[in-house]
Amino acid sequence: MRRTVTLVLVIGGVLTSGAPGAQPAHAPSMETLLDTGRTVLQQAFAYPEGTARIVAQRLRFPPGSSTPVHQHATPMFAYVLEGEFVVDYGTHGERTYRRGDAIVEAIDWPHRGRNAGPGPVEILVVYAGADGVANTLVAGATSATADPPLD
């Protein structure tokens, strides 16, 4: 226990050394982008059973492009790196996500995203899924494991 406390104090000292309230330019920093147990539609989520699998993708959407109607079977974190992306959730309405927005996308709810802006959109997505469980299923797809690179 003493060793753990000492390590925490040493690390804490490194992160907070210098003048009170000031942090050196070379010091590490941390910013929480999202801390939630609910999706953008306020759904509670759980991870699928099975062998865990994390998939991270960087999606790019040129102006005017869109996704097909699709849904996600696993929790998916999305962070908008660039641009403005509009997602239509049907009866839940449309939401616009801009650079710096972080969300957990709707689960088992059909939706469609589009780049309605003049420039490109880039989104980092991270799926918290399991082997053999599709992260994304396009409406009308014949395969239960369809997994195209979508939002």
Task: Quick: pLDDT tens for 40-76.
Answer: 999 998 888 999 999 999 999 999 999 999 999 999 9
Q: Phi and psi for 16 in degrees, rounded to 5?
A: -115, 10
Confidence of residue 26 (pLDDT cuts 50, 70, 90): confident
Tokens of 5: 């406390």
| Amino acid letter for position 55 | V
Q: How confident is the model at residue 23 (pLDDT cuts 50, 70, 90)?
A: low
Q: Which amino acid is at 133?
A: V
Length of the chain: 151
Q: Is the pLDDT of residue 149 over 90?
A: no
At residue 141, the pLDDT reads 65
Per-residue pLDDT band for 151 (boundaries 50, 70, 90) equals: very low
Q: CA separation (Å) from 133 to 20, 49, 50, 126? A: 50, 9, 9, 14
Q: Judge contact between 114 and 66, C-beta under 8 A.
A: yes
Mean predicted lDDT score pLDDT of the chain: 84
Q: What is the pTM of this model?
A: 0.76
The CA angle 56-58-62, to the nearest 5 degrees, is 155
